[in-house]
């Protein structure tokens, strides 16, 4: 059984500092929902507020439609997995998994049955009698998930659970976590500052910056149609061109940049004279001329071959770094250091947004 989680104008303050600023969200039952944002943006604070370890300064949290004010963490239908897992090293895997059931007075026989069911779920069917200190990092990760699921939460809260693992294992665990979530069907609320993790696993993502939710959407929308300069620059690589809108028409907007006029979509209906930023992703650039207001000339600084693609770094017109990613197909000749390169993009792949704060490099 799953439950939805609603944040209704939730603000959390620590003294004069606002860690979460007026967050309103509707997470659906059974959804895999992620909070994505840089360190210190308020992700853990939101999770602690949902789990009941922290009370909102303003607003309310509802789980399964029920207002949670005054309801303590152990009375909520949630379970929390911490970043450091907090397993008991001197207990067996099975005893770790069923610890919460023992605390609740569940019989040994029932605990053993439940332990086996969960060991099967996490694909460690024969490891119940081992100590957790005898397992690998990824295996311990799965034990922590099994332990959280043992108490049958309706909502599982995961605070950067993969951050301690190495890259390969992390990528493998993404798929495992997603598969486990599909199988148990409960709501997962997942915190990460890794955009790859958020994009691959989530049904929807909330992108946060400085306590403010910037955008809530599925991964593709967040990537292709960012709502703010912060989202455009935090999720994936992006090239910002700063300027003023000189023309706005049905197909988009043209902004005056150091490279001259450049065009993109205009989803926010900016008007002539507005300060704006045009974002063009590295993979949207190609070598060679395109439309006059979607072509620029820059000097090549260097390039980096990455197997399936080559990243070319350019500069010019007071813009220090433009990144272009060239795929292998097409066999384009990569310009060398110092070479002038003319590059262009499809104006439909550029997006013009009102000037605003971008993510730090």
Candidates 38-46, 141-149, 306-314, 339-347; binding stretch for Mg ion (CB under 5 A): 38-46
CB of 189 to Mg ion, least distance (A): 13
How many angstroms separate the CA atoms of 63 and 237, rounded?
A: 36
Binding test (CB under 6 A) with ligand ATP, winner from 2, 34, 45, 209 = 45
> Any idea which residue has 């969200």 for tokens?
25
CA angle, 45 as apex, 39 and 46 as ends, to 5°?
110
Candidates 40-48, 85-93, 116-124, 350-358; binding stretch for ligand ATP (CB under 6 A): 40-48
Binding test (CB under 6 A) with ligand ATP, winner from 42, 100, 153, 350 = 42
Binding test (CB under 5 A) with Mg ion, winner from 2, 34, 44, 49 = 44
Kindly provide the residue ranges of all beta strands, DSSP E only, lying in the chain, ordered along the sequence. Answer: 5-14, 17-27, 32-36, 58-63, 66-67, 78-81, 155-159, 187-192, 204-209, 212-217, 239-249, 252-257, 260-264, 275-280, 285-287, 295-305, 309-316, 319-327, 340-345, 350-354
CB of 157 to ligand ATP, least distance (A): 12
Residues 174-213 that bind ligand ATP (CB under 6 A): 193
Q: In this structure, are residues 261 and 244 in contact, taking their beta carbons and an 8 Å threshold?
A: no
Binding test (CB under 6 A) with ligand ATP, winner from 3, 41, 177, 341 = 41
> Any idea which residue has 């909502």 for tokens?
155
CB of 84 to Mg ion, least distance (A): 12
CB of 40 to ligand ATP, least distance (A): 4
Q: In this structure, are residues 313 and 331 in contact, taking their beta carbons and an 8 Å threshold?
A: no
Out of ligand ATP, Mg ion, none, what residue 77 binds, judged by CB under 5 to 8 A for its kind, is none
Tell me the two tokens of residue 282.
């590295």
Out of Mg ion, ligand ATP, none, what residue 45 binds, judged by CB under 5 to 8 A for its kind, is ligand ATP
CB of 78 to ligand ATP, least distance (A): 17
């Amino acid at each position: 059984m799953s439950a939805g989680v609603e944040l209704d104008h939730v603000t959390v303050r620590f003294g004069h500092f606002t860690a979460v600023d007026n967050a309103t969200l509707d997470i659906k039952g059974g959804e895999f929902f992620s909070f994505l944002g840089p360190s210190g943006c308020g992700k853990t604070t939101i999770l602690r507020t949902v789990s009941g370890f922290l009370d909102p300064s303003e607003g309310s949290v509802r789980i399964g439609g029920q207002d949670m004010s005054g309801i303590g963490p152990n009375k909520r239908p949630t379970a929390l997995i911490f970043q450091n897992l907090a397993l008991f090293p001197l207990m067996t895997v099975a005893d770790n998994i069923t610890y919460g059931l023992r605390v609740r007075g569940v019989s040994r026989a029932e605990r053993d049955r439940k332990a086996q069911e969960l060991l099967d779920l996490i694909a460690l069917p024969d490891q119940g009698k081992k100590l957790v200190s005898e397992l690998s990092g990824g295996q311990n990760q799965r034990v922590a998930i099994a332990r959280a699921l043992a108490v049958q939460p309706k909502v599982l809260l995961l605070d950067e659970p993969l951050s301690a693992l190495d890259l390969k294992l992390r990528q493998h665990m993404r798929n495992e976590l997603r598969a486990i979530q599909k199988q148990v069907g409960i709501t997962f609320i997942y915190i990460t500052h890794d955009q790859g993790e958020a994009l691959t696993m989530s049904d929807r993502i909330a992108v946060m910056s400085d306590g403010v939710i910037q955008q809530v959407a599925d991964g593709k929308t967040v990537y292709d149609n960012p709502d703010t300069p912060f989202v455009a620059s935090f999720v994936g690589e992006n090239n910002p061109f700063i300027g003023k809108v000189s023309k706005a028409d049905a197909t988009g907007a043209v902004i005056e940049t150091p490279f001259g006029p450049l065009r993109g979509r205009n989803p926010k209906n900016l008007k002539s004279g507005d300060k704006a930023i045009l974002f063009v992703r590295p993979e949207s650039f190609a070598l060679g001329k395109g439309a006059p207001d979607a072509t620029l000339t820059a000097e090549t600084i260097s390039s980096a071959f990455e197997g399936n693609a080559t990243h070319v770094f350019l500069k010019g017109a007071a813009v220090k770094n433009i990144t272009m990613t060239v795929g292998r197909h097409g066999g384009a000749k990569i310009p060398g250091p110092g070479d002038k390169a003319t590059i262009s993009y499809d104006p439909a792949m550029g997006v013009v947004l009102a000037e605003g704060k971008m993510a730090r490099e």
